[in-house]
Chains A and B, each alone.
Chain A
Amino acid sequence: MEPLSWGEIFAGMFIQLIPVWIALVVTFAVSIAYKRKLGLYGKLFDSTIGMIGFFLVMFWVFVAILGSMDMILTHDPLSQVSGMKNKVPGTPLRGAEDGDYMHYLLGGDNLARDIFSRVMSGATIVILIAPLATLFAYMVGITLGLPAGYYGGRFDMLLSFVANLVLAFPVILLFYLLVTPEIVNTGLPQFMAIVLFFFPLIFFAVLIHTRLKQQPQKNTVWLCAILIPLAIMYVVTINAPGTKIDVLGPVDFFNPASGILVVFVSVVFVNSPTVFRIVRGLTLDIKQRDYVSAAQTRGEGAWYIMLWEILPNARGPLIVDFCLRIGYTTILLGTLGFFGLGLPPESPDWGSTINEGRKLLSIYLHPALPPALALLSLVLGLNLLADGLREESLRD
């Protein structure tokens, strides 16, 4: 069979991605049709930059979702096919049988795996970890930053000192210290997970309780509905068989793949101090406003004021920073992969694939470039999205 030309390769990828295009068209059509009713999200569609950013981000989100549902991949991202090592893009698959995809669209890598499938399934890992880790960092940063800014004093001094301590640490050194197998075996990342993952529980408990304190019945219902699933998730995530923390035994139904928890914890740990500083700064500014004084005069509790008066009014900058921070987290994940830390070496995440591809870069260009461009486009999309959001939220 003939190798594909570049035009055919792009056509092949376009056809392979048809589910993604359909999803994108539907999303954009619905959003633009109802954009006046959708608040800040709808306003995004007034700015070209924001729309381009949203397009790039949603492209990868849909690739991640549909890819994990096996609608995009041409081959298994982990299986090796003999004779396909370092083959250029468009090489026909050797020994293809009926039902196999006939070509390696973007060529084969050093271990004869299909690069196109690896890049697409790498998106699943990144899209799963980056926003979730950022969300956790936000929970930690908000839960600590609000009281630090609101109360000030000793508590603030101590927390700010700790935050600056973490920030003064070179990120890569920290990763090396946390993610090496020897340290992972001591259970240190798991202990950190115990602390860091507890913050969402605190956050939601206080959030609900301060709001519904006057209606005890509703309060109990809501607290149970939110906290019980969260607590179960908390316990089964922390617990892992064969490690220092293994108390559940067979009841433990959820175990993230090896290395993912460690990577997740270190990324949350690195991001939280920055979020803390932003939230603290915003709180210092907002607590001087009249509506906060009004709430204080009404006799509202301190935590009610922090979570229901200050936090909603800080949402603009926080949403923008959230987008930027997902991008930054993606970069951090890539850095971890680039140094071969945390995730298993055969993992198709973009950092690891770039790291593998760069070793033969002077001879073979095709293994390293697709994951590099994928990471670039996702982070660029997030940055443009943040820029569009900032512009639109400043407009009113």
Chain B
Amino acid sequence: MGLFILRRLGVMILTALCLTFIVFFLTNLHPNLEKLAKTQGEMRMSDEQVERWLANRGYDQPLPIKYGEWLGVWPSKIINTDDGRTYGRCIESGVEIADTPRYCGVLQGDWGTSTVFKDDVSSIIKTRLSLTGKLMFWVMVLMIPSALLIGVLAGMREGSRTDRTLSTLSIATTATPEYVSGVIFIALFAASASPLNQWLASMDWIEGRTLFKGTATSAMEKATFNNFFLPVLTISLYGMGYIARMTRASMAEVMTAQYIRTARLKGVSFPNIVVKHALRNALIAPFTVIMLQIPWLLNGVVIVETLFNYKGFGWVLVQAAGNNDFELLLGVSVVSVVVVLITQLISDIGYVYLNPRISVS
């Protein structure tokens, strides 16, 4: 088991290195650097000025060296320009040139500076990630129990009317991407033009003009049911159907097992069979699925945070990618790749632990 985890960790690190290198390569393509120079320096720079601007900041070095500097395994270059100024990754104001460390990359904990937010990448990611963490927590709280419940109810009597209704329902939720369900929810519950809201307001049943808020910006400070339920529901709904269908399949399979028949013949009541005999075995498969669902949720988070204007991690991703703010973009991709890889690892290990039939050696 130890060796297995160690090997997986090795592959994980290799994957993370490859992916960040790809992002690094794409963001450092010359047209992107040119755009960066023009937005950071001056809009009307001539080509020559652009080249000098880039050279002064070390952007003209070969790609592997720049990547090494960013990673913190290559000493950062210190450049003295013609007009007597000094530039370098590691140089901070107030610190003597002689005292600046030679290495300052991700490994040293220095993630660089965002050009859009004018702030440290690590602090931006920390605050935004905690906001998204709050969103994800509530998504999990809503999504997992309801998905498991739907799946178990549907799979417990395969082919019954409950099964058919719930299965069709879960197909419908998997067919509704977040930007569709989000738009429909806002139109129904959060738009003052919606007939539902107008009716509720005319009956004086709601305070204000809408049932829910269409933006979740205020939820960043203080999340309430009113401003946070719609984004949470939107993300959960898309993942819910898939988990429910997996649970249903696994539950239906368990219910045909010999030991369930034995229990029935012994005269154990149906609810007891479901809860005491079937449930534990039926939940092995959904566990893996739930873990593998987390990377998909990341997608949903980006869409929903954009749609509801909730300034979390996904929102930052869009801002960074849209403005080619590449140190921030690299930070964002490191975090998301690590999240994806760790969930894959946990799902593999958890699967082995939960399922005695599979062993790794």
Q: Which residues of A contact B (CB under 8 A)?
A: 49, 161, 164-165, 168-173, 176-178, 180, 182-183, 185-186, 188, 327, 331, 334-335, 338-339, 351, 354-355, 357-358, 361-365, 368-369, 372-373, 375-376, 379-380, 382-384, 387
B333 near A173 (CB under 8 angstroms)?
Answer: yes
Q: When the two chains form the complex, which single residue of B11, B295, B302, B303 contacts A161, counting CB atoms closer than 8 Å? A: B11
Whether A186 touches B29, Cβ cut-off 8 Å, given contacts A176-B322, A335-B177, A335-B179, is yes
A183 near B175 (CB under 8 angstroms)?
Answer: no
Whether A170 touches B298, Cβ cut-off 8 Å, given contacts A365-B193, A383-B174, is yes
Whether A365 touches B192, Cβ cut-off 8 Å, given contacts A173-B336, A379-B175, is no
Residue of A nearest to B30 (CB): A186
- In the complex, identify which listed stretch (B15-23, B217-225, B276-284) lies at the interface while the others stay far away: B15-23
B214 near A362 (CB under 8 angstroms)?
Answer: yes
Expressed in whole angstroms, the minimum distance between the Cβ of B29 and any Cβ of chain A is 5
| 18 residue pairs from A and B, CB less than 8 Å apart | A168-B337, A170-B302, A170-B337, A171-B299, A172-B318, A182-B29, A182-B324, A183-B26, A334-B177, A339-B318, A354-B179, A354-B183, A361-B186, A369-B187, A372-B184, A375-B177, A380-B175, A384-B168
Q: When the two chains form the complex, which single residue of A161, A177, A368, A383 contacts B175, counting CB atoms closer than 8 Å? A: A383
Whether A339 touches B306, Cβ cut-off 8 Å, given contacts A171-B299, A361-B183, A369-B187, is yes
**Which residues of the partner chain B approach A355 to less than 8 Å between Cβ atoms?**
179
Measured in the bound complex, the distance between the Cα atoms of B320 and A176 in whole Å is: 10
**Which residues of the partner chain A approach B190 to less than 8 Å between Cβ atoms?**
362
Contact bitstring B145-174, A, C-beta under 8 A = 1, else 0: 000000000000000000000011001101
A331 near B177 (CB under 8 angstroms)?
Answer: yes
Within 8 A of A (CB), among B1-36: 11, 14-15, 18-19, 23, 26-27, 29-32, 34-35
Expressed in whole angstroms, the minimum distance between the Cβ of A104 and any Cβ of chain B is 17
Measured in the bound complex, the distance between the Cα atoms of B326 and A176 in whole Å is: 12
Within 8 A of A (CB), among B299-317: 299, 302-303, 306-307, 317
Measured in the bound complex, the distance between the Cα atoms of B214 and A383 in whole Å is: 29
Sample of 16 further A-B pairs with CB below 8 A, known A176-B318, A365-B194? A164-B15, A170-B317, A171-B299, A172-B318, A176-B322, A178-B26, A186-B30, A354-B179, A358-B183, A361-B191, A362-B191, A362-B193, A369-B184, A376-B184, A379-B177, A384-B168
Measured in the bound complex, the distance between the Cα atoms of B298 and A176 in whole Å is: 15
Interface residue? B180 (CB, 8 A): yes
A170 near B321 (CB under 8 angstroms)?
Answer: no
Expressed in whole angstroms, the minimum distance between the Cβ of B343 and any Cβ of chain A is 10
Measured in the bound complex, the distance between the Cα atoms of B26 and A252 in whole Å is: 29
B191 near A365 (CB under 8 angstroms)?
Answer: yes
Expressed in whole angstroms, the minimum distance between the Cβ of A208 and any Cβ of chain B is 36
A177 near B27 (CB under 8 angstroms)?
Answer: yes
A363 near B303 (CB under 8 angstroms)?
Answer: no
**Which residues of the partner chain B approach A358 to less than 8 Å between Cβ atoms?**
179, 183, 186, 307
Q: When the two chains form the complex, which single residue of B14, B15, B27, B31 contacts A186, counting CB atoms closer than 8 Å? A: B31
A182 near B31 (CB under 8 angstroms)?
Answer: yes
Interface residue? B332 (CB, 8 A): yes
Q: How many residues of B contact A (CB 8 A)?
A: 54
**Which residues of the partner chain B approach A351 to less than 8 Å between Cβ atoms?**
179
Interface residue? B340 (CB, 8 A): yes
Expressed in whole angstroms, the minimum distance between the Cβ of A46 and any Cβ of chain B is 15
Interface residue? B113 (CB, 8 A): no
B192 near A387 (CB under 8 angstroms)?
Answer: no
The 4 nearest A-B residue pairs measured at CB: A176-B321, A182-B31, A380-B175, A379-B175
Residue of A nearest to B164 (CB): A49
Residue of B nearest to A164 (CB): B15
Which of B26, B175, B322 has most chain A Cβ within 10 Å?
B175
Residue of A nearest to B23 (CB): A177
**Which residues of the partner chain B approach A173 to less than 8 Å between Cβ atoms?**
23, 317, 321, 329, 332-333, 336
**Which residues of the partner chain A approach B139 to less than 8 Å between Cβ atoms?**
none
Interface residue? B176 (CB, 8 A): yes
Interface residue? B341 (CB, 8 A): yes
**Which residues of the partner chain A approach B23 to less than 8 Å between Cβ atoms?**
173, 177
Residue of B nearest to A179 (CB): B321
**Which residues of the partner chain A approach B27 to less than 8 Å between Cβ atoms?**
177
Measured in the bound complex, the distance between the Cα atoms of B29 and A185 in whole Å is: 11
A327 near B175 (CB under 8 angstroms)?
Answer: yes
Measured in the bound complex, the distance between the Cα atoms of B172 and A335 in whole Å is: 18
**Which residues of the partner chain A approach B193 to less than 8 Å between Cβ atoms?**
362-365
Expressed in whole angstroms, the minimum distance between the Cβ of B165 and any Cβ of chain A is 12
Measured in the bound complex, the distance between the Cα atoms of B337 and A361 in whole Å is: 34
Measured in the bound complex, the distance between the Cα atoms of B307 and A354 in whole Å is: 11
B214 near A375 (CB under 8 angstroms)?
Answer: no
**Which residues of the partner chain A approach B191 to less than 8 Å between Cβ atoms?**
361-363, 365
Whether A372 touches B171, Cβ cut-off 8 Å, given contacts A168-B340, A172-B302, A180-B324, is no
**Which residues of the partner chain B approach A354 to less than 8 Å between Cβ atoms?**
179-180, 183
Measured in the bound complex, the distance between the Cα atoms of B317 and A202 in whole Å is: 38
Expressed in whole angstroms, the minimum distance between the Cβ of B192 and any Cβ of chain A is 6
Expressed in whole angstroms, the minimum distance between the Cβ of A177 and any Cβ of chain B is 5
Measured in the bound complex, the distance between the Cα atoms of B41 and A96 in whole Å is: 52
Measured in the bound complex, the distance between the Cα atoms of B19 and A168 in whole Å is: 8
Measured in the bound complex, the distance between the Cα atoms of B193 and A369 in whole Å is: 13
Q: When the two chains form the complex, which single residue of A171, A186, A364, A372 contacts B183, counting CB atoms closer than 8 Å? A: A372
Which of B14, B180, B344 has most chain A Cβ within 10 Å?
B180
Expressed in whole angstroms, the minimum distance between the Cβ of B323 and any Cβ of chain A is 10
Measured in the bound complex, the distance between the Cα atoms of B178 and A286 in whole Å is: 37
A169 near B337 (CB under 8 angstroms)?
Answer: yes
Q: When the two chains form the complex, which single residue of B11, B176, B194, B317 contacts A376, counting CB atoms closer than 8 Å? A: B176
